Protein backbone atom coordinates (compact mmCIF):
# COMPACT_ATOMS: atom_id res chain seq x y z
CA UNK A 1 0.00 0.00 0.00
CA UNK A 2 1.37 3.38 -1.05
CA UNK A 3 -0.36 6.55 0.12
CA UNK A 4 0.14 9.66 -2.03
CA UNK A 5 0.07 12.85 0.08
CA UNK A 6 -0.58 16.10 -1.77
CA UNK A 7 1.78 18.98 -1.14
CA UNK A 8 0.33 22.31 -2.27
CA UNK A 9 2.15 24.53 0.23
CA UNK A 10 -0.28 24.45 3.18
CA UNK A 11 0.24 20.99 4.59
CA UNK A 12 1.64 19.51 7.79
CA UNK A 13 3.22 16.75 5.76
CA UNK A 14 5.69 15.31 8.24
CA UNK A 15 3.22 14.33 10.96
CA UNK A 16 0.82 12.84 8.39
CA UNK A 17 3.65 10.85 6.83
CA UNK A 18 4.83 9.58 10.19
CA UNK A 19 1.34 8.42 11.15
CA UNK A 20 1.01 6.34 7.98
CA UNK A 21 4.53 4.94 8.41
CA UNK A 22 3.57 3.88 11.94
CA UNK A 23 0.75 1.86 10.37
CA UNK A 24 3.13 0.18 7.93
CA UNK A 25 2.11 2.10 4.82
CA UNK A 26 4.51 3.51 2.27
CA UNK A 27 4.07 7.18 1.41
CA UNK A 28 5.05 9.58 -1.32
CA UNK A 29 4.72 13.37 -1.43
CA UNK A 30 3.22 14.46 -4.73
CA UNK A 31 2.85 17.85 -6.45
CA UNK A 32 2.09 17.23 -10.14
CA UNK A 33 -1.05 16.33 -12.11
CA UNK A 34 0.59 13.17 -13.47
CA UNK A 35 1.43 12.01 -9.94
CA UNK A 36 -2.17 12.55 -8.86
CA UNK A 37 -3.47 10.58 -11.85
CA UNK A 38 -1.10 7.70 -11.05
CA UNK A 39 -2.05 7.50 -7.36
CA UNK A 40 -4.05 4.62 -5.92
CA UNK A 41 -4.70 6.31 -2.55
CA UNK A 42 -4.79 10.08 -2.04
CA UNK A 43 -4.54 12.19 1.11
CA UNK A 44 -5.23 15.92 1.06
CA UNK A 45 -4.00 17.45 4.33
CA UNK A 46 -4.04 21.14 5.06
CA UNK A 47 -3.82 24.02 7.52
CA UNK A 48 -4.84 27.61 6.88
CA UNK A 49 -7.51 29.39 4.87
CA UNK A 50 -9.83 27.77 2.31
CA UNK A 51 -9.10 30.42 -0.33
CA UNK A 52 -5.35 29.91 -0.04
CA UNK A 53 -5.72 26.15 -0.17
CA UNK A 54 -7.75 26.20 -3.37
CA UNK A 55 -5.35 28.72 -4.91
CA UNK A 56 -2.47 26.37 -4.09
CA UNK A 57 -4.21 23.46 -5.82
CA UNK A 58 -5.10 25.65 -8.79
CA UNK A 59 -1.55 26.96 -9.20
CA UNK A 60 -0.27 23.39 -9.45
CA UNK A 61 -3.12 22.38 -11.80
CA UNK A 62 -4.27 19.70 -9.36
CA UNK A 63 -7.99 20.45 -9.12
CA UNK A 64 -9.17 18.53 -12.19
CA UNK A 65 -6.86 15.53 -11.61
CA UNK A 66 -8.20 15.24 -8.03
CA UNK A 67 -11.77 15.35 -9.32
CA UNK A 68 -10.96 12.76 -11.98
CA UNK A 69 -9.47 10.37 -9.45
CA UNK A 70 -12.42 10.77 -7.11
CA UNK A 71 -14.77 10.00 -10.01
CA UNK A 72 -12.77 6.85 -10.73
CA UNK A 73 -13.25 5.67 -7.15
CA UNK A 74 -9.71 6.27 -5.92
CA UNK A 75 -9.89 6.65 -2.11
CA UNK A 76 -9.40 10.28 -1.08
CA UNK A 77 -9.01 11.45 2.51
CA UNK A 78 -9.10 15.17 3.36
CA UNK A 79 -7.75 16.33 6.72
CA UNK A 80 -8.80 19.61 8.41
CA UNK A 81 -8.61 22.24 5.64
CA UNK A 82 -8.33 19.30 3.23
CA UNK A 83 -11.76 18.07 4.32
CA UNK A 84 -13.31 21.52 3.93
CA UNK A 85 -12.00 21.78 0.37
CA UNK A 86 -13.92 18.63 -0.55
CA UNK A 87 -17.15 20.64 -0.31
CA UNK A 88 -18.78 22.95 -2.86
CA UNK A 89 -17.81 26.31 -1.40
CA UNK A 90 -16.65 28.26 1.63
CA UNK A 91 -17.57 31.68 3.01
CA UNK A 92 -14.12 32.18 4.56
CA UNK A 93 -12.76 35.57 3.36
CA UNK A 94 -15.54 35.79 0.77
CA UNK A 95 -17.25 33.04 -1.22
CA UNK A 96 -14.81 30.60 -2.83
CA UNK A 97 -15.55 27.39 -4.77
CA UNK A 98 -14.18 24.09 -3.54
CA UNK A 99 -13.61 20.73 -5.18
CA UNK A 100 -17.32 19.94 -5.21
CA UNK A 101 -16.90 16.28 -4.23
CA UNK A 102 -19.27 16.39 -1.25
CA UNK A 103 -22.37 18.60 -1.56
CA UNK A 104 -22.47 21.37 1.00
CA UNK A 105 -20.67 24.48 2.16
CA UNK A 106 -18.23 25.69 4.78
CA UNK A 107 -19.30 28.43 7.20
CA UNK A 108 -17.94 30.12 10.31
CA UNK A 109 -18.57 28.46 13.67
CA UNK A 110 -21.24 30.68 15.27
CA UNK A 111 -20.11 32.28 18.53
CA UNK A 112 -21.51 31.00 21.83
CA UNK A 113 -21.07 32.55 25.31
CA UNK A 114 -18.13 30.92 27.04
CA UNK A 115 -16.91 29.08 23.93
CA UNK A 116 -14.03 30.58 22.00
CA UNK A 117 -13.42 30.52 18.26
CA UNK A 118 -11.17 29.06 16.97
CA UNK A 119 -12.26 25.75 18.38
CA UNK A 120 -9.06 24.24 19.79
CA UNK A 121 -9.49 21.18 21.98
CA UNK A 122 -10.08 17.46 22.14
CA UNK A 123 -13.69 16.42 21.48
CA UNK A 124 -15.55 13.10 21.60
CA UNK A 125 -16.76 11.80 18.24
CA UNK A 126 -20.49 11.11 18.08
CA UNK A 127 -22.45 9.02 15.55
CA UNK A 128 -24.91 10.97 13.39
CA UNK A 129 -28.49 11.17 14.62
CA UNK A 130 -30.26 7.85 14.25
CA UNK A 131 -27.10 5.75 14.36
CA UNK A 132 -25.56 3.89 17.29
CA UNK A 133 -21.98 3.60 16.07
CA UNK A 134 -19.67 4.15 13.08
CA UNK A 135 -20.13 0.76 11.42
CA UNK A 136 -19.91 0.78 7.65
CA UNK A 137 -17.62 3.82 7.57
CA UNK A 138 -13.89 4.45 7.74
CA UNK A 139 -14.44 5.25 11.45
CA UNK A 140 -15.75 1.80 12.37
CA UNK A 141 -12.54 0.94 14.23
CA UNK A 142 -13.39 3.36 17.07
CA UNK A 143 -16.13 3.59 19.67
CA UNK A 144 -18.50 6.54 20.07
CA UNK A 145 -17.07 8.98 22.59
CA UNK A 146 -13.43 8.50 21.70
CA UNK A 147 -11.72 11.88 21.43
CA UNK A 148 -9.79 13.58 18.63
CA UNK A 149 -7.94 16.88 18.38
CA UNK A 150 -9.65 19.83 16.66
CA UNK A 151 -8.28 23.22 15.67
CA UNK A 152 -10.49 25.29 13.32
CA UNK A 153 -12.73 28.34 13.01
CA UNK A 154 -14.99 27.11 10.21
CA UNK A 155 -17.20 24.03 9.95
CA UNK A 156 -18.53 22.03 7.03
CA UNK A 157 -22.29 21.83 6.54
CA UNK A 158 -23.09 18.76 4.41
CA UNK A 159 -26.15 19.23 2.21
CA UNK A 160 -27.07 15.54 2.55
CA UNK A 161 -27.43 14.15 6.10
CA UNK A 162 -26.15 10.75 4.97
CA UNK A 163 -22.76 12.34 4.15
CA UNK A 164 -22.20 13.17 7.84
CA UNK A 165 -20.00 10.36 9.17
CA UNK A 166 -19.37 11.73 12.67
CA UNK A 167 -20.32 14.80 14.68
CA UNK A 168 -18.95 16.73 17.63
CA UNK A 169 -20.69 19.18 19.94
CA UNK A 170 -19.09 22.53 20.74
CA UNK A 171 -21.20 24.67 23.02
CA UNK A 172 -24.41 23.39 21.48
CA UNK A 173 -23.13 23.85 17.92
CA UNK A 174 -22.93 20.67 15.85
CA UNK A 175 -19.55 20.25 14.18
CA UNK A 176 -19.18 17.98 11.17
CA UNK A 177 -16.27 15.99 12.56
CA UNK A 178 -16.08 13.62 9.60
CA UNK A 179 -17.80 13.33 6.24
CA UNK A 180 -17.92 10.59 3.64
CA UNK A 181 -19.46 10.10 0.21
CA UNK A 182 -18.38 6.83 -1.35
CA UNK A 183 -14.61 6.73 -1.24
CA UNK A 184 -14.29 10.49 -0.67
CA UNK A 185 -13.76 11.01 3.07
CA UNK A 186 -12.75 13.81 5.38
CA UNK A 187 -11.82 14.53 8.98
CA UNK A 188 -12.17 18.03 10.43
CA UNK A 189 -9.94 16.93 13.32
CA UNK A 190 -6.30 15.91 12.93
CA UNK A 191 -6.10 12.09 13.11
CA UNK A 192 -2.31 12.27 12.91
CA UNK A 193 -2.34 14.26 16.19
CA UNK A 194 -5.08 12.25 17.92
CA UNK A 195 -3.09 9.38 19.39
CA UNK A 196 -4.32 5.78 19.15
CA UNK A 197 -7.83 6.87 18.15
CA UNK A 198 -6.50 8.85 15.21
CA UNK A 199 -4.30 5.96 14.14
CA UNK A 200 -7.33 3.64 14.20
CA UNK A 201 -9.16 6.04 11.90
CA UNK A 202 -6.24 6.21 9.47
CA UNK A 203 -6.11 2.41 9.54
CA UNK A 204 -9.80 2.42 8.59
CA UNK A 205 -8.92 4.55 5.58
CA UNK A 206 -6.11 2.14 4.63
CA UNK A 207 -8.45 -0.83 4.97
CA UNK A 208 -10.93 0.85 2.64
CA UNK A 209 -8.12 1.42 0.12
CA UNK A 210 -7.61 -2.33 -0.19
CA UNK A 211 -11.28 -3.14 -0.87
Please state whether 110 falls in left (phi above 0), alpha (psi between -120 and 50) or beta: beta
> What is the number of residues in the chain?
211
The answer to whether 181 touches 161, Cβ cutoff 8 Å, is no
* Whether 190 is catalytic: yes
* Whether 80 is catalytic: yes
- Give the three-class secondary structure for 193: helix
The rounded distance, in Å, linking the Cα atoms of 48 and 18 is: 21
> Choosing from 92, 123, 146, 192, which is the catalytic residue?
192
The answer to whether 138 touches 193, Cβ cutoff 8 Å, is no
Cis status of the peptide bond prior to 118, with omega within 30 of 0: yes
* Whether 17 is catalytic: no
The rounded distance, in Å, linking the Cα atoms of 174 and 171 is: 8
> Choosing from 96, 119, 152, 190, which is the catalytic residue?
190
> Choosing from 80, 148, 176, 209, which is the catalytic residue?
80
Give the residue numbers marked as catalytic: 80, 190, 192
Amino acid sequence: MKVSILDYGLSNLRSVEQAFHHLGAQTEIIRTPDQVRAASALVLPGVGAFRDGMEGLRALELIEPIREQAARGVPLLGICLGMQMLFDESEEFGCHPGLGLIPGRVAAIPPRPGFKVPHIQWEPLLPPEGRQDFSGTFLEGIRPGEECYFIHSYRALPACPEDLAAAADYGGVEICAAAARGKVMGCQFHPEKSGPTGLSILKGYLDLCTK
